[in-house]
Chain A
């Protein structure tokens, strides 16, 4: 693994929601699990997130949303990625996501939804099994 390129993960907080405990904890955890993690910080627009994903050449994007605006914000991030010609970066969503919204997110193209109580090791395992570093 050391000689190979490490899997690059973008952890992003779309929208104005400032609850970033989850985003930061996941960022630290994935870093310790051997991933290269880029955390955007608060208040990112979908455009900024798509651009960061392109510029940082990431292998996976994690969105953390606790404001209830997850459906709209996730859709917009995906639209922006498509606009910029990115079709193949898996998107993970975490935060306060009601069970009943999970199918809609999956339908949009979200690879997996992780809610409260998920061990970071599960997220890491999911990424490893779904992403091969280029």
Chain B
């Protein structure tokens, strides 16, 4: 710790420097103030290293969750073997994918396996499924199987898993499900599948996104109002802890909130507010905090090009979450206090530009440097052709992977853990970020927490207004984006690169998916036992009306009776009502 007189000496010297050196230069260039800043120990006067930073792998985890990460331990060995990671995947689940009918997607997965894919499914569902409709709903026209696979019933779900048997059975590989409002139904399908295969649900691993609150703030695939949505969250949480203890209950997303326009501070505060609401749901249900908090994951906070600030965000986030768990929720297990996320800092997809898209590689590398410097795999993300809307090309993915490798092995950015620890600048920026996010979080808590701040429209509206402020700053050239609002003259060269698109999905199948899905659905409705369906739905309805009942057993029965996703969701719509979209 700095002695007080030492700090006073530096403060006096700093004033002298400003007077003798800085200000004359500011005058010489006819500026109002210096365009740059310089930090001294006076920026962190009360800085207590052990309290604010500590050691990597120890509370408050500012410097990182681990002294070194799993991937770092074997990086060189992987390089010598020429290991090619399954890009886009997290953990042991494979690449995020899904299209067409369950049959189309199963065949895709089998093809990927023949090409060496080893992970479990990381399922993208189509918007119809994500919004709790069937493929024959009027809302479904044109959307079936488009942004993910169509799942109307347990039958579809089982077809997908025909690709996972033997040494890829569901007690061997984990599954990720990017779904929120109907997450409970999908978890029920997973449990029912295990039962059918004679596998104990306790052996199932995986991560449902199951983060409904951010859907109201961004992304928009909500069904029921926030409170009954939280009841469903509670039901999944309590059921998973009892019967599927290896399932990560939720993957909390700040990424979507930032991409929708939130500022960095809003991203951090809103994500933590949502996380706190989920933690409270577990505590209110009588669970012990250390029993379930370690099963929470974050899929990432959002990112931007401002890497100093993004590094500060990651450090502040780790510290805030750790303190929240320890001080507010009384956690004792350090695993409860860590933010588990597949990537740390990165740029956002909204940082990329359609104009001169190869520049996005330079942008993504900046994000990779940031993550390498704040406790994560250097995440060069996204591939440069992301904003073209054409799918990622083989070239863009090769460049993305190579850039990550260059950062790890040539630049060695990940060889020091939290290289910014103790920096006067970074510690003060981390403190500032934390203080601003805490103020925002306090505001939300004063409203009654995340659910209340969704119901009264505060969080969604704040995000939309921030998006508009950003747009105005770009149009007024207060913020700069190269090729978008500056450097667009005739002398700039529109650099392009050969793009071979990886034809992952069969376009012919995609085109006929809706028709085939409708035919399958008609067969299902004819073949299944109508009475079992009706009985299951009636029990679900009765129990849905009683807040105290956990709906998972009923959902599993409904799924097994081959009730459709929409039939199940419609029963709950009847009891819970539907969410009103926020007006802006």
Number of A positions contacting B (CB below 8 A): 33
Q: Does B355 contact A (CB under 8 A)?
A: yes
Q: Does A134 contact B (CB under 8 A)?
A: no
Q: Which residues of A contact B128 (CB under 8 A)?
A: 16
Min CB distance B282 to A, Å, is 27
Using CB atoms, name the residue of chain B closest to A75.
B142
Q: Assuming A42-B581, A115-B354, A116-B387, is B220 touching A15 (CB within 8 A)?
A: no
Q: Mark A15-37, 1 if CB is under 8 A from B, else 0.
A: 11111110011011100000000
Q: Assuming A25-B467, A28-B464, A41-B583, is B219 touching A18 (CB within 8 A)?
A: yes
- Interface contact B147-A67, CB-CB below 8 Å: yes
Question: A41 vs B353: C-alpha distance in the bound complex, in angstroms?
Answer: 26
Q: Which residues of A contact B207 (CB under 8 A)?
A: none
Q: Interface-forming stretch among A53-61, A81-89, A105-113, A117-125?
A: A117-125
- Interface contact A21-B261, CB-CB below 8 Å: yes
Q: Does B491 contact A (CB under 8 A)?
A: no
Min CB distance B133 to A, Å, is 8
Q: Assuming A15-B142, A17-B127, A28-B464, is B581 touching A41 (CB within 8 A)?
A: yes
- Across the interface, A25 reaches (CB within 8 A) one of B138, B146, B218, B468, namely B468
Using CB atoms, name the residue of chain A closest to B470.
A25
Binding site secondary structure of chain A: loop
Min CB distance A117 to B, Å, is 5
- Interface contact A16-B130, CB-CB below 8 Å: yes
Question: A22 vs B459: C-alpha distance in the bound complex, in angstroms?
Answer: 17
Using CB atoms, name the residue of chain B closest to A99.
B388
- Across the interface, A42 reaches (CB within 8 A) one of B130, B143, B220, namely B220
Q: Assuming A25-B468, A98-B389, A120-B475, is B584 touching A39 (CB within 8 A)?
A: yes
Question: Could you say which of A15, A24, A29, A119 has the most chain B C-beta atoms within 10 Å of its C-beta?
Answer: A24
Min CB distance B466 to A, Å, is 10
Q: Which residues of B contact A43 (CB under 8 A)?
A: 131, 139, 220, 581
B interface residue numbers (CB < 8 A to A): 127-128, 130-131, 133, 138-139, 141-143, 146-147, 215, 218-221, 259-261, 350, 353-355, 387-390, 464-465, 467-468, 471-472, 474-475, 481, 484-485, 581-584
24 contacts between A and B (CB under 8 A): A15-B143, A16-B130, A18-B215, A18-B219, A21-B261, A21-B464, A24-B261, A24-B467, A25-B467, A27-B584, A28-B464, A29-B468, A41-B583, A43-B131, A43-B220, A45-B139, A67-B146, A68-B146, A69-B146, A72-B141, A76-B141, A96-B387, A117-B353, A117-B481
